């Protein structure tokens, strides 16, 4: 079982983690299971979800992998019913599914009509279908699970939703227009939903990771020889701690928000875990 920054009591809590088989999601799943939760690793790739669930079970935890598409309500409802019948109703939902797509990214940081083209896309040529796909995955992919699993939480004590925001929730990041727009929407949605559910037993908060190397952003951040790309170097220059984060460094904030005893009066908060990135003005 994973090494924890501290222990909280999540015994028998049913925790659903969308995108749970990813680099950051897997670290969260392991930590939640180590605190006694019954963890559901939910994702489109059933084999990956089941492999992580088996790893957690072999380490002494309780987990199951289940396939569902966070953009498809019927598949989410089927998953929710199966989880309720097997583990019980969802107590904590972590909306970890998200990511980017090259079709939602511009090739240019700054608009330059002289260099714009198929290999150096400006905003004016941005693929709208690609933009929509990225926005939907990151925003609607949190909204729909919140609706489906929220039905299992209403008027039950100790329930919460934890969204995954981003540094893009605070300031837009160059080139990734769709991702930045969606993550800004996540921050606003977190506060809106926290208010909406505040009198019915559901706390809603978000963790806003700084920059971490994952499989989805590796090509943008790391060259084939292992050195940092120019974009990665700009990130480090804007991060006072002068490094990328590691997945286990998200766990303290996550466990604090997941534990209703530790954060019982916390709702509508977006917690940055960013090495100081969001606090640095650049000068």
The catalytic site residues sit at 179
Q: What is the C-alpha separation between 221 and 184, in angstroms, rounded?
A: 22
The neighbour count for residue 57, using CB atoms within 10 Å, is 14
Backbone angles phi, psi at 215, to 5 degrees: -65, -30
């Amino acid at each position: 079982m994973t090494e924890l920054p501290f222990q909280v009591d999540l015994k028998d809590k049913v925790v659903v983690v969308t995108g749970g088989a990813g680099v950051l999601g897997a670290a969260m799943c392991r930590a939640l299971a180590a605190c006694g939760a019954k963890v559901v690793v939910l994702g489109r790739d059933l084999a990956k979800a089941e492999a992580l669930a088996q790893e957690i079970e072999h380490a002494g935890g309780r987990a199951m992998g289940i396939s569902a598409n966070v953009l498809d309500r019927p598949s989410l409802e089927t998953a929710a019913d199966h989880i309720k019948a097997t583990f019980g109703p969802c107590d904590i939902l972590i909306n970890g599914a998200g990511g980017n797509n090259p079709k939602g990214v511009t090739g240019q940081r700054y608009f330059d009509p002289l260099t714009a083209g198929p290999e150096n896309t400006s905003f004016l040529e941005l693929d709208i279908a690609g933009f929509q796909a990225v926005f939907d995955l990151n925003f609607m992919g949190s909204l729909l699970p919140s609706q489906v699993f929220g039905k299992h939480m209403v008027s039950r004590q100790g329930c919460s939703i934890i969204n995954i925001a981003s540094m893009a929730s605070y300031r837009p990041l160059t080139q990734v227009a769709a991702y930045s727009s969606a993550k800004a929407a996540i921050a606003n949605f977190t506060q809106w939903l926290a208010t909406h559910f505040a009198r019915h037993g559901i706390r809603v908060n978000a963790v806003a990771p700084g920059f971490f190397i994952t499989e989805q952003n590796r090509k943008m951040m790391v060259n084939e020889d292992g050195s940092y790309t120019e974009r990665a170097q700009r990130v480090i220059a804007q991060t006072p701690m002068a490094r990328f984060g590691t997945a286990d460094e998200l766990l303290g904030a996550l466990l604090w928000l997941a534990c209703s005893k530790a954060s019982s009066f916390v709702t509508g908060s977006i917690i940055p875990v960013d090495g100081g990135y969001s606090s640095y003005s650049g000068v």
